[in-house]
Copies of this chain bind each other. A is one copy, B any other.
Amino acid sequence: MPGRAVGPGPPAVWRPLAARADNAVMAHRLDDVSAPARLAGPDEGISQEELALAARNHGIPLEALRYDVTPPGLHYVLTHYDIPYADEGSWELVIGGRVRRPLRLGIDALRKYPAVTSRVTLECAGNGRALLTPRPVSQPWLVEAVGTAEWTGVPLRVLLAEAGIEPGAVDVVFTGADHGVERGIEQDYRRALPLDVALGDAPEVLVAYAMNGGPLPPQHGHPVRLVVPGWYGMAHVKWLRDITVADAPFTGFQQAVAYRLRQDADDEGEPVTRIAPRALLVPPGFPDFMSRTRVVRPGPVALEGRAWSGRAPVTGVEVSTDGGGSWRPAELGPGDGHPWAWRSWRLAWTATPGQHVLGARATDAEGHTQPLDQPWNRGGFANNLVQRVPVLCLDPGDDG
């Protein structure tokens, strides 16, 4: 792996570069720092490169699933390259391509349109990747790459109607300001939506400039981002600076190479689109610092959590407290008019001394449900295998 030569490996001692054998051949090309996609070997631990991604991108601490709307800083974050240093005052969003009236809009202009606010649960397409066997080597999410926010902005269809879409348009391409290299290809982050999705009102795609009532934080796309309710995070282009209507299907890296469900490297695969159903628990009891195993005392334990699907509303959550041996239906909280946000659920459990493995399984109105076998693919996308929550119930009176 040529990238190793300048990879972030830990030196025990500092030495002049010239003395480092791995630099004997000086490399000048992106291929030297940008490794091809790969799978971890058997028993291969998480690498320094995966750790560097885990240290800067972060998930939601699962206890924060208690909140209907995720508090600032607890919502998951995934940035492909760098968070751009954006100046709201001078920011411009350009809308062009196959349109009759190209638009150039600053933040003030966007704020003049009738504002729409939607509560949306966002999940990274790579959530669950690090639990797959074999493990695709990329951002190593376990189950925590999710969050819910109130997004405020202008419906994309309103802006596209004003620009006037010309005949023959098929895709709408969104370009963000974050710039970097991926598998040897230098690029701005860029994704497309089919025209019918871009113009749709179920979901209604937003060009958003506010999160939970305030300006977008830098890591969530300041000052402008796309929000595509029901779709995995890769579609919600952050730091949005260009919208181009195209008369041919978009074949950029993030559409045709990344974010596809492949079984092997030669498989063209299916594109990653809407969020598969998933339920997670608010971890019961208290944790061990290192293993994160949960500890409870014997007696009643109120189990609660969240469940969501980007395909259809969640209609049921089953809970197992015996590692999948049996399942009981949980009580669902109110849908409360937020079809694109997670739904709360609860179930009473009486804990008995010993080890238990808890799990919750969501099903949506279209009958999609979570698998009990890992849904493996080469990119490690959309792994909604039912969560396992190991719990130790202490003996009566054991105060640790």
Contacts and interface: CB of A to CB of B under 8 A. Distances in A.
Interface stretch (A106-114, A155-163, A201-209, A321-329): A321-329
A181 B72 CA distance: 27
B61 A16 contact: no
A11 B63 CA distance: 22
A57 B54 CA distance: 9
A49 B292 contact: yes
A55 interface: yes
Given A50-B46, A355-B23, A288 B77 contact: no
Contacts of A8: 142, 291-293, 388, 390
Contacts of A373: 12-14
Contact of A30 (B23, B144, B394): B394
A265 interface: no
Identical chains in the assembly: 2
Contacts of A295: 30, 33, 180-181, 186
Interface string A43-62: 01111111111111111111
A18 interface: yes
Given A56-B58, A59-B56, A293-B6, A218 B138 contact: no
Nearest to A132: B10
A34 interface: yes
A326 B290 CA distance: 41
A359 interface: yes
Interface string A1-43: 0010111101111111110100100111110111100000000
A85 interface: yes
A390 to B, nearest CB: 4
Contacts of A217: 71-74
Contacts of A142: 8, 48, 51-52, 55
B81 A322 contact: no
A82 interface: yes
Given A23-B355, A28-B395, A355-B17, A55 B58 contact: yes
Contacts of A46: 45-48, 50-51
A323 B16 contact: yes
A18 B11 CA distance: 46
Contacts of A71: 217-219
Given A3-B293, A34-B289, A182-B288, 13 more contacts: A6-B293, A8-B291, A13-B374, A23-B323, A28-B395, A54-B54, A54-B55, A55-B144, A72-B217, A73-B73, A180-B289, A183-B290, A186-B295
